[in-house]
Structure 1
Amino acid sequence: MRPAHLNRLSVQQCADRYLDLVRAKTVTGALSPATAEVYARDVTTFADLAGPGLVLDDLTGEDVDAVLLAFARKPDGRRTHPESGTQSASSQSRFRRSVSAFFKHATLAGWVQLNPMTAATVTARERGGLRPERRALTREQAQGLVGAARDLTAAEPDAGRRDQRTQVRDALIVLLLSTLGPRVSELVRANVEDFYTNDGVRYWRIFGKGGRTRDVPLPRDVTDVLDTYLTTARPAAADKALLLSWRGRRLARGDVQAVIDRVQRHVDPAQRRTVTPHGLRHTTATHLLADAVDMDAVRRVLGHSDLSTLGRYRDELPGELEVAMRAHPLLRRPATGGER
């Protein structure tokens, strides 16, 4: 039911009250801290773009369209590369979902008479939501990045300042992201104690969304780099975090992109392409599925609760249809000789 009375509150007042609710849900466990952070950032941005002093109920569908378009044209502050100057399609879709959730609550709370999202006409495609680049790296690009990470573990440690001696840690970050595809929040939350050995196989117990956990076995190469990092390269610190800065503090989410960019500088320019941590999650899913790894196994590696979610992470690779047709199962020659 909708409230009987309308509260004509400003956009900023409504945003503040909504974010108080979001924070309360985080305390009770109804929302993860990462999701709450996204809502807070998007709703704060919406208030700034819409006009904090305006009455929320006075906003129309056209006003919401204008905000969505303004957000689409905003530079992506997480990246410094010219080709990534505006918001990606996924960021635009996420922002729209956050705004929609905000107005859904505003309708129930009596802050607006009618939800203006129902009259908004701007879609992701009309907002220029086509991705400028494929999110998943091609096999050659991914192998170039993984190869650069491996080379870092074999290189002599930097003889310069302590804040320059991070090669093994950087290599571990790139290898974990490229081969297991964890969410960046899962990666920076990881603790040393989350890694254990069972029957000679090293596992990572990943604490994911919604309080769910999954135990994922590490490839041998990744295990070797992990052991090297823990025994020789991890700073001595009381913090139980796996990934530490040279000062001995847990890495933040924003630090991970800088690590990837630093490793990318060692990749051959012919194989190099800008990629985000989430792009490496797409890369993991895409190449595991392209190699015919069981879909349910891939789902469990990525921590999805539903197989249908994998469709959003499976990106198209150049030439894959041609390869599939060349290896068509119905055109394989039958076995000859005495085979039965």
Structure 2
Amino acid sequence: MRLGTVSIMLPVQVNRLTVQEAADRYVELVRAKTVTGALSPATAEVYARDVATFVRLAGPDRVLDDLTGEDVDAVLLAFARKPDERRKINGRGEAAGKSTGKEPGQSAASQARFRRSVSALFRHATSAGWVHLDPMAASSVRARERGGLRPERRALTREQAEGLIEAAASPGAPPAEATDSGSGRRRRADQRTEVRDALVVLLLTTLGPRVSELVRANVEDFYTNDGVRYWRIFGKGGRTRDVPLPDVVAVALDAYLAVRAGGDGEKALLLSWRGRRLARGDVQAVIDRVQRQVDPGRRREVTPHGLRHTTATHLLADGTDMDAVRRVLGHSDLSTLGRYRDDLPGELEVAMGSHPLLRRRRGQAVQDDEAGPDT
């Protein structure tokens, strides 16, 4: 009689790295991903900054595998109480800005981001054999839920968005745009960038790219196929998507390329009047300049990310296929669209007023009214 063999499971051998050693290896890996395009440099630096903060709060010389869920909770709470370093300090050593009666600390969004960064570190540590178990599974500290987006990050209403598009697409430049804001001095003709600003706003409002995708765009990324202009967008995680340009946007692109200041060797699409690629921070200034041309009754402050929300919200509200919207925005999962879908005033009333299950009854009622009373 043949006896079966018994396999014996040996305990996993863990590389007992200190918190600092593990963080250094992880950050090196994160930054290496920027070379392949799997991560943007800005995202990699956010991870690196959060991991450095985690090292300081957890203790650089502690062994990573010794940290428990309680230890992680203590770190998360310490981060939540840490003053927001972005807030300016006045001469008396107090945080500037409106007093809320509470100790200044990290916002809910910053706390949630920090928790995601720490979770990513421990996920890698688990797969790399630096810890037996992921302590995040036993962590209970989470940031409070946000009470909605800030106003400037919400989607513009149809009236506000159309006002911005009309201001961007209108030919010529208003007199106010020919002067430097604040100084009142007249700008030279070669410093005027209205055509470029129009293209920036139209691309953001109608296609909803991430601001990093916009400033990274090159002239060669735009091409024509069967008479339709396309933008090949290089997005997150090394993914690309080809998005057709609406006719108005294609016209604005051609108008800008005709006056673009860069030489033949400059690849960047969007250039400053000095001929340098626009930076992420420049895009908000562009939006604000175009906003000044909008009628005050239709004007509202908005960020580039708010225009991304605007694109998603109005495409979905108009009944555009969800998968098509997902592909325009460059999401890998349909569920992510929920974050970019904002409520519009009167939207529910319109939906109930044209309910698909009652259209036949409304049509019959109209026919009866047109037929008039029986004779």
Decide: shared fold, TM above 0.5. Answer: yes
Matched, 1:98 2:117: yes
Question: Within 2, Cα distance between the matches of 1:3 and 1:254?
Answer: 47
Larger Rg: 2
The Cα offsets for residues 240-281 of structure 1, whole Å up to 9 and x where unpaired, read as: 111112221222223222322333333334333332222211
RMSD over aligned CA atoms reads 3.4
Matched, 1:225 2:252: yes
Question: Within 2, Cα distance between the matches of 1:75 and 1:282?
Answer: 25
Q: Residue 34 of structure 2 contacts residue 44 of structure 2 at CA under 8 Å; is this kept in 1?
A: no
Worse-matched range after superposition: 1-10 or 38-47: 1-10
- Give the corresponding residue for 2:23: 15
Question: Within 2, Cα distance between the matches of 1:40 and 1:267?
Answer: 37
Worse-matched range after superposition: 181-190 or 262-271: 262-271
After superposition, the Cα gap between the structure-2 partners of 1:95 and 1:298, relative to the gap in structure 1 and judged at 3 Å, is same
Matched, 1:170 2:180: no
- Give the corresponding residue for 1:55: 61
After superposition, the Cα gap between the structure-2 partners of 1:63 and 1:243, relative to the gap in structure 1 and judged at 3 Å, is same
After superposition, the Cα gap between the structure-2 partners of 1:67 and 1:228, relative to the gap in structure 1 and judged at 3 Å, is farther
| One-letter amino acid of the structure 2 residue matched with residue 40 of structure 1 | E
- Give the corresponding residue for 1:32: 38
Shift of 1:176: 0.1
The Cα offsets for residues 85-124 of structure 1, whole Å up to 9 and x where unpaired, read as: 9977655534322221013234455666764433433324
Matched, 1:131 2:136: no
Please show how residues 102-251 of structure 1 align to structure 2 within 5 Å: 102-109=121-128, 115-125=134-144, 128=146, 130-133=148-151, 135-151=154-170, 153-155=172-174, 158=178, 160-161=187-188, 164-236=191-263, 238-251=265-278
- Give the corresponding residue for 1:4: 14
Q: How many residues align?
A: 327
Question: Within 2, Cα distance between the matches of 1:208 and 1:277?
Answer: 16
- Give the corresponding residue for 2:75: 64
Q: Residue 230 of structure 2 contacts residue 243 of structure 2 at CA under 8 Å; is this kept in 1?
A: yes
Q: Residue 88 of structure 1 contacts residue 129 of structure 1 at CA under 8 Å; is this kept in 2?
A: no
| One-letter amino acid of the structure 2 residue matched with residue 183 of structure 1 | R
TM-score calculated relative to the size of structure 1: 0.81
The Cα offsets for residues 124-144 of structure 1, whole Å up to 9 and x where unpaired, read as: 435x56433362222222223
Question: Within 1, Cα distance between the matches of 2:275 and 2:106?
Answer: 33
Question: Within 1, Cα distance between the matches of 2:74 and 2:279?
Answer: 35
Question: Within 1, Cα distance between the matches of 2:324 and 2:213?
Answer: 19
Worse-matched range after superposition: 111-120 or 225-234: 111-120
TM-score calculated relative to the size of structure 2: 0.74
The Cα offsets for residues 37-73 of structure 1, whole Å up to 9 and x where unpaired, read as: 3132243145247627643547613323224424795
The Cα offsets for residues 14-50 of structure 1, whole Å up to 9 and x where unpaired, read as: 43322111122333x3x5241x531322431452476
Question: Within 1, Cα distance between the matches of 2:158 and 2:188?
Answer: 35
